[in-house]
Structure 1
Amino acid sequence: MTTVGLLYPGHAAEDDFPRIEVMLDSDIRVPLFHTDIDEDARRVENLREAGAPDRLSAGVEELRMAGAESLVWACSGGSFAYGWDGAHQQAAGLARAAGLPASSSSVAFVQAVRELGASRVAVAATYSEDVAALFAGFLKSGGVEVTATRGSGIIAASEAAAADVELVKELAVAGDHPDAEVVLLPDNALHTAAYVPELEELLGKPVLTANQVAVWEGLRLAERRIWAPTLGTLFATREPPLGASEPRGIEVRE
């Protein structure tokens, strides 16, 4: 069994994660601990407050007790709002506190783009334009070319969580760009787990979503590969030989 521990801010689209467990159809568990938020808003100051060390440390011991082998802060904005260096420092702090390899959804996006062998992406964000631009800047710091960035002005996580598949499709189509090899939807409050193959068929290219990449990143850090095309191209890039082990690459355990 492989256990990926997740820290998740407040309550929004956390039911994506048990859905992903079912879709993986394997011995993988993704226990989740809810961290506190002061306000249901994704403004820069709110996002930075959500990712403050004292808030994140609250759930670390519970996830350790759940047998987590890796830890992911499942909040894109609560990590990229700190910038490239700050997000990696945040993950390193989690790794020290947990004694486990740790990462975040924003770091996971960069790793996932590399996994797909892509270099050019489009950002289809629910956020306001200024927050979406912060994410684009984060990606550029990670060596990813951003061909287009679109913010949709959804400030509240609860509003994003209420979006149905048709609205998610509209967001993805509006944010796509002809030069982009991959489209990114960076919001852990957005339900996307059940829609990824449908989005990829609609756009004709791989789609990466926040909850999808958070689980993938945790599995990568735990050195566990799994073949699950129902979760999109990211989980179907290649099927590893039986018993093969994947290199971790850069790890934030300290």
Structure 2
Amino acid sequence: MSQELNGSWVNSYGSKMDLLLLEYGAIVGQYSSTTGSTGIYSVIGQCSPDKPSESKGLAVVLSIYWHPINAETPDESWHWVSTYCGQLLGTGELSVTNSLVATCDFNGFSAGDYIDKLTFQKVSSTPDPFILSLNSESEGVTFNNPINGEWVGVNPGVQLGLTVTNSDYGLVQGVVEYQNTIITLKGFTDTVVSGLGRQSISVCGYMSGRDVPVSLSGWLDVSNNSLQLSRWLANATSPENVYYQSDVESWLLRKK
């Protein structure tokens, strides 16, 4: 398993992301933001098992919950999540598409999906110590939440099961059946919806049938009890074909 993702990464906005690679390509980390609201945020992700090279990168997806783990004064951005979909290039750059899911208005931004291209440079091969250990949740524990349960895709035909496993930190896990492949998922959902019409979610996994990391991000529409999701696949490419690294597809699911 490639260890190149381990360490501290900084993007052009000055935000820092610390990543640690676990078994089977699972990733945990934390994000220190300097844009919009400030704070330290939790990261969960997944990468492919191959090492990056000059001709092909290392595919990766990351989920971020914009509810800081070190702040006490809330704002509306605490309900938001992101998916990062892209790759670690052989040149050493981490190139991702950021899909920000804003489920409510805040600071001049309306609810919706916001897409940005981000590039990170490694500044240290050792990540800073994490404030929160995301690997310590209790197995088999379930917290009541509207997003829990079985969901069936209207188009395409997929089946998705979700369970909130830690309500304080928005941790959610699940399993999706897609293209004859069973994918285990882990990530975040907004657990403090406070009467909003949308509940954000971003989860990551690995699609062995196509040998690619996958992320689902979007929201639960409270008014009609449906999931509006974007399915992101991360493709490993050569540096000149980096535009091909993020594959997205729209899903609509309803509770079974």
Query: Which is helix-richer, 1 or 2?
Result: 1
TM-score with structure 1 length normalisation? 0.29
TM-score with structure 2 length normalisation? 0.29
Structure possessing the higher relative contact order (Cα contacts under 8 Å, 6 or more residues apart): 1
Query: Which is strand-richer, 1 or 2?
Result: 2
